[in-house]
Chain A
Amino acid sequence: DQQVKQNSPSLSVQEGRISILNCDYTNSMFDYFLWYKKYPAEGPTFLISISSIKDKNEDGRFTVFLNKSAKHLSLHIVPSQPGDSAVYFCAASAGNNNDMRFGAGTRLTVKP
């Protein structure tokens, strides 16, 4: 099941610079997208979401961009901080379907 893909297993960024995490999806029925952050030994924590009627949603240092025609979304973190180091999961759902599909995750390392 590869409906949600995160093709970069890891990303390393210098503190203060921008982190860009990418996610692609194949199911055109997906209309709600979420990013979760996961620290070791903890469950995923909701970070930010976007519905398909928007192309951008911003919350502080975090911005999610959605390109529906390309079936692509990205998470921008700026400026990146060492505390942002975690695994980031992209997730998507369709309508009222409770079946949320996750990508494989990207491990972000922010170096001081």
Chain B
Amino acid sequence: EPEVTQTPSHQVTQMGQEVILRCVPISNHLYFYWYRQILGQKVEFLVSFYNNEISEKSEIFDDQFSVERPDGSNFTLKIRSTKLEDSAMYFCASSAQPSYNEQFFGPGTRLTVL
């Protein structure tokens, strides 16, 4: 069964450093998403991406964040200058249709900012 994959599974970085989280969505999906879950809190929407551009973003997704689909398979989330509060689990998701169809989530990347 096709699945969303994410790398790395765990990323440790120093505050102020740039990180890039990588995702490979399901191959025939057109809509891509990033979410995060701070430990013990709820899953929060960050951004959705369709047709090579951001379609929606939340208030969390500020200028420190960017997304890119550099080739036909990868979907990346970049945090330019990480802060302690960026420590969270970051989930990538993809769907064949907009959000009213189910999204398929990856296993997540745990980001730890020291």
Contact = CB atoms under 8 A, between A and B. Distances in A.
A103 B42 contact: yes
Contact of B102 (A1, A42, A49, A102): A49
B99 A46 contact: no
Contact of A98 (B56, B91, B104): B56
Contacts of A85: none
Contact of A99 (B45, B93, B100, B108): B45
A34 to B, nearest CB: 7
Nearest to B33: A98
B108 A43 contact: yes
B100 A51 contact: yes
Contacts, number: 63
Contacts of A45: 105
Q: Count chain B CB atoms within 10 A of each CB in A43, A46, A103 and give the residue with the most.
A: A43
Interface in A25-48: 32, 34, 36, 41-46
B42 A89 contact: yes
A41 B17 CA distance: 25
Given A89-B42, A93-B100, A98 B105 contact: no
27 contacts: A32-B99, A36-B105, A43-B105, A43-B106, A44-B91, A46-B104, A51-B100, A93-B99, A93-B100, A96-B98, A97-B56, A97-B99, A98-B31, A98-B33, A98-B55, A98-B99, A99-B45, A99-B48, A99-B56, A100-B33, A100-B45, A100-B99, A102-B44, A102-B45, A103-B42, A105-B42, A105-B43
